[in-house]
Structure 1
Amino acid sequence: MKLCRYDDDRLGVVREQTLYDVTAALDVLPQVRYPLPRVDPLIAHLAQVREAIERLLPTAKARPLAGARLLSPVANPGKIVAAPVNYARHLDEARAQADIHHHQQVKEIRQIGLFLKATSSVVGPHEGVALQHLDRRNDHEAELAVVIGKAGRNITRAQALSHVAGYAVGLDMTARGPEERSLRKSVDSFTVLGPWLVTADEIADPSNIDFWLTVNGEPRQSANTRDMVLDIGTLIEFASSFYTLHPGDVLLTGTPEGVGPVLPGDRIDCAFDGVGQISVQVRAAQPQPECVA
């Protein structure tokens, strides 16, 4: 099942090029009050939501998918866990291009581990990427996004995929510079997720997905998820050995070679077979007031 958030936080099911409005399925979610849960409510109750969707679909209002404003399929991720240099050829690329990591030594993922991105960086494909630091190189990175569906700590690799709710296309943006990755990759709009959540039962083998990325139609990245240094199961095992994974947490699994800069006015297209395709416009961020009420 392909589940999307669209327009004014409506819930939809996508089939071919048709969008079915199943927003009423959200009525099964429990009402919450302070303190709020540490999970994304929809992902935490995905089974109940899907049951409600199946009841609604026969009479659900349909509309063309084209024209819908697609938001991030995960509204409230508790944390975004990211895997740096998790493709061997990207490691070679980073070591060969000093400006990728600001003349710092690039270590393998097993040595440097994982890092976290701010949840405030999450947007949907139709919201686009806003570049804050135009004096820096800002790069695109195509990544498979794994959405955790079941909580766990010290999850074994053998059990890891049973904790996955589904998958989405991920676009991990980064501003090059000397600071830590988590800072440079947490700029507002620098985590694009979409176009929808494909539930785990739809993806037979997440370790064998072809994907690509283009900028203004120019091919930049092309690879397969089997090229990962640490596969999805190992990444989940690794992450959960340090902190509990909760429903709605997002794991960005790394990017292959071909990362490169984008500028305001560029269009990034990125697709993962069986998951989906996003088209993202790049713009310059508008100046914000020093204090927002």
Structure 2
Amino acid sequence: MKLCLFDDHRIGAVRDGGVVDLTAALPWPHDPDPETAGGWRRLCRDHAELADRLAEAVAAGPVVPLDAVRLRAPALNPSKIIAAASNYAEHVHEMHAVQERTLGKVEEWMMSFDVFLKAPSSLAGPGEPIVLPAEILAAGHEVHHESELVVVLGRGGRDIPVDRALEHVVGYSIGLDITVRSPGDRSRRKSYDTFSPLGPWLTTADEAGPPDEFEIELLVNGEQRQRVSTADLLVPVPEIVAYASRVMTLRPGDLIFTGAPPGVGPIRPGDELVAGISGLGELRTSVTAGGEPR
């Protein structure tokens, strides 16, 4: 099932080129306030128990065309966005040249796999532009795209065994980890507002299939910049989930960006980006320049 958030954060399913509103089929009232997460995290946690009820509602409900609704990021106020660093060998190799150009040196500690945090406020939905801060543009820093498979946590947990990790995943989505190439902490450079585009929906794990069989592609202005298989992840999805859970307690609705493929490169105001993952759809967005701070 392809679950989505739309309009005033109503919960729906994508079917036949449109959206079926599932909000009334859920066993709790609709809460449009994104700060209180509108029941989304509860849906992530309890999806297995609600699956039959939702399937019946999808089959019976009217379909509203996609162009008649506003799709939102398929996440509401997650407790955290976790991101994996240095998780494709070719990307690690290319980052030596990127860092020499943008930093004047190679930060060797950044070439090994690890996880870090991005601000939940950096989330942006389908079609919502990536806004490049004026001060970053004025300083001449490059801002790069990183198209990634995103894991959406269902059941939370801590110290999750690798062989049980996928039981804690409700589904997958498409994400862009937008990154300022400058000195400083990763979390700060990747946490500006709109620097975590996500969407267009969440495809549940049962429909999406194994997480090591996805093909990721990114087009910028129609030109292919990135293409990779998740089979090439250095640390596969179950191990990422297990490792992160040894560091921090995972909560329902948390997001894990699984790592940047090779082919990262600069984005500029006016660019059009299309990130696609096989079976998950396409995330379309654009780039614009931000105004001066007020």
TM-score by length of 2: 0.89
3-state SS, counterpart of residue 235 of structure 1: helix
Asked if the contact 2:145–2:264 (Cα under 8 Å) also holds between the matched residues in 1, the reply is yes
- Give the C-alpha shift of residue 270 in structure 1: 0.5
Q: How far apart in 2 are the matches of 1:115 and 1:13?
A: 31
* Structure 1 counterpart of 2:178, from 160, 173, 178: 173
Q: 1:195 aligns with which of 195, 200, 216?
A: 200
Q: Is the 8 A contact 1:166 1:199 kept in 2?
A: yes
* Greater helix fraction, Structure 1 or Structure 2: 2
Which amino acid counterpart does residue 237 of structure 1 have in structure 2? A
Q: List per-residue Cα deviations over 1:80-113 (Å, max 9, x = no partner).
A: 110111100000000122235562323466x462
Maintained 8 Å contact 1:40/1:78:
no
1:9 corresponds in structure 2 to: 9
Once residues 71 and 105 of structure 2 are traced to their aligned partners in structure 1, the CA distance between those partners, rounded to angstroms, is 38
Instruction: For residue 4 of structure 1, give the secondary structure of its aligned residue in structure 2.
Output: strand
Identity %: 40
Aligned pairs for 1:1-293 (under 5 A) are 1-28=1-28, 40-97=41-98, 98-99=100-101, 103-107=105-109, 111=112, 113-132=114-133, 133-134=136-137, 135-289=140-294
Runs of 4+ aligned residues of structure 1 deviating over 4 Å after TM superposition are none
Matched position secondary structure for 2:141: coil
Deviation at 1:288, TM superposition (A): 4.7
Please give the alpha-carbon distance, in whole angstroms, between the structure 2 residues aligned to 1:221 and 1:114.
22
Question: Gaps spanning 5+ residues in structure 1: where?
Answer: none
Q: 2:20 and 2:71 mapped to 1: Cα distance?
A: 13
How does the TM-score come out when normalised to structure 1? 0.90
Task: Quote the Cα distance in structure 2 between the aligned partners of 1:102 and 1:71.
Answer: 39
CA shift digits 1:24-82 (9 cap, x unpaired): 13453698xxxx79x92332232355444234234423122235322111112111110
Judge conservation of contact 1:29–1:49 (CA < 8 Å) in 2: no
Query: What is the rounded CA distance, in whole Å, between the counterparts of 1:126 and 1:240 in structure 2?
Result: 32
Cα distance between partner residues in 2 of 1:40 and 1:191: 18
CA–CA distance in structure 2, aligned partners of residues 106 and 245 of structure 1: 29
2:129 and 2:67 mapped to 1: Cα distance?
Answer: 16
Contact 1:6 1:71 in 2 (8 A): yes
CA RMSD of aligned residues (A): 2.1
Q: 1:7 Cα shift?
A: 2.0
Find the aligned partners of 1:286 and 1:108 in 2 and give their Cα distance.
31
Residues 40, 58 of structure 1: alpha-carbon distance in 2 compared, 3 angstrom cutoff: closer
What do residues 169-195 of structure 1 show as CA deviations (whole Å, max 9, x unaligned)?
A: 011100111011000000000011100
Structure 1 contact 28–49 (Cα < 8 Å) conserved: no
